[in-house]
Amino acid sequence: GAKWTYNGPDGEHNWSNNYPFCGGAFQSPIDFQTQLLRYDPNLPPIQVQNYNLSTKEQLTLSNNGHSVQLYLPSHMYISSLPHRYSAAQLHFHWGSSNLLTGSEHTVNGKRFAGEMHVVHFNSDKYPNISMAVDKHDGLAVLGVFIEIGEFNPAFDKFFKYMNGIKYRDQKIQVPAFNIHALLPARLDEYYRYDGSLTTPPCYPSVLWTVFRRPVTISRKQFLALATALYASYAQESTTVPLHGNYRKPQIADNRVVLVSFKD
């Protein structure tokens, strides 16, 4: 599809020129404002299966020019939703080395240092993510806020390989590890709403689950993420740093955001 960026002439305000859904309804991310929230006692804790991958497995880590993404095996899935949602990939959104705020969702205007998304597709109804990505019940994404704090050994399982994917379209194989260790401590407290992909083509196909509790990584780990990658190809003479890859909050309209916690 047409190229898009987070800044400049191909930035988010012009995405809808080539990707009409980006100017449509049910767009993500949104700001979780207290007055939008409605407590729903029927929201069950998120349960995932087969996230503890064996180190014998290898995963493909890639720089797709928009984010760093880790492809995930489809035997990993979410079991607590009405359909089985099988894992496809995880990726990140972050700020820059001097702007330590790059999450996509915000809470009462507070932006976190970064945000991880674990993208799943409805494998009860669709054979793969490409068939699911534009269907209203196609995707379920788990969102995890990232804060700067304690060193996080789980993230280092692949942060240490980032120098192998500095440039766009570079891929490397990394040993698999326990993906569950990337999730926050409490999977029972989360925001839930119907939204969209936060990148073109912006299909309104995502059931969003954003956990209330952030995970922490150290400042050094954050800087590795925020400064290691380029959006440009290796052979290009001008390098374009890959940072600030977060879409601004969209109009929530009168969308209700359900929360699984009372406070």
- List, by residue number, the catalytic residues: 66
- From the list 18-26, 175-183, 192-200, 221-229, the region that binds ligand 5EF by CB under 6 A is 192-200
Out of Zn ion, ligand 5EF, none, what residue 197 binds, judged by CB under 5 to 8 A for its kind, is: ligand 5EF
Question: Which 129-168 residues touch ligand 5EF, going by CB under 6 A?
Answer: 129-130, 133, 141
User: Of the ranges 111-119, 157-165, 167-175, 184-192, which one interacts with Zn ion (CB under 5 A)?
Assistant: 111-119
In the complex, least distance from residue 247 CB atom to ligand 5EF, rounded to whole angstroms: 8
Please identify, using beta-carbon distances, which residue of 107 and 133 lies nearer to ligand 5EF. Answer: 133
Q: Which of residues 107-126 bind ligand 5EF (CB under 6 A)?
A: 117, 119
Cα–Cα distance for residue pair 247/199, rounded to 1 Å: 8
Shortest distance, position 250 Cβ to ligand 5EF, whole Å = 12
Integer CA distances (angstroms), 103 to 143, 145, 207, 209, 216, in order: 10, 7, 18, 14, 13
For ligand 5EF, give the closer residue by CB, 176 or 206: 206
211 by DSSP, 3-state: which? Answer: strand
The yes or no reply on residue 105 touching Zn ion (CB under 5 A) is no
Asked if residue 211 lies in contact with residue 187, where contact means CB atoms within 8 angstroms, the answer is yes
The residue among 146, 164, 143 whose CA lies nearest residue 154 is 146
Instruction: Choose, by CB under 6 A, the member of 27, 67, 106, 260 that binds ligand 5EF.
Output: 67
Whole-angstrom distance, CA of residue 177 vs CA of residue 109: 34
Among 105, 111, 117, 243, which residue sits at the site for Zn ion (rule: CB under 5 A)?
117
For CA atoms 15, 18, 19, 23, the dihedral sign is positive
**Chain mean position to CA 12:** 17
Q: Please say whether the beta carbons of 213 and 184 come within 8 A.
A: yes
Q: How many angstroms from the chain centroid is the CA of residue 183?
A: 12
- Closest to 224 (Cα-Cα) out of 60, 62, 66, 68: 68
Residues numbered 185 to 244 that lie near Zn ion (CB under 5 A) are none
Rounded to whole angstroms, the Cα distance separating 13 from 76 reads 35
Minimum gap (Å) between residue 197 Cβ and ligand 5EF? 4
Q: Which is nearer to ligand 5EF, 37 or 132 (CB)?
A: 132
- Which parts of this chain interact with ligand 5EF (CB under 6 A)? 64, 66-67, 69, 88-89, 91, 117, 119, 129-130, 133, 141, 197-199
- Which parts of this chain interact with Zn ion (CB under 5 A)? 117
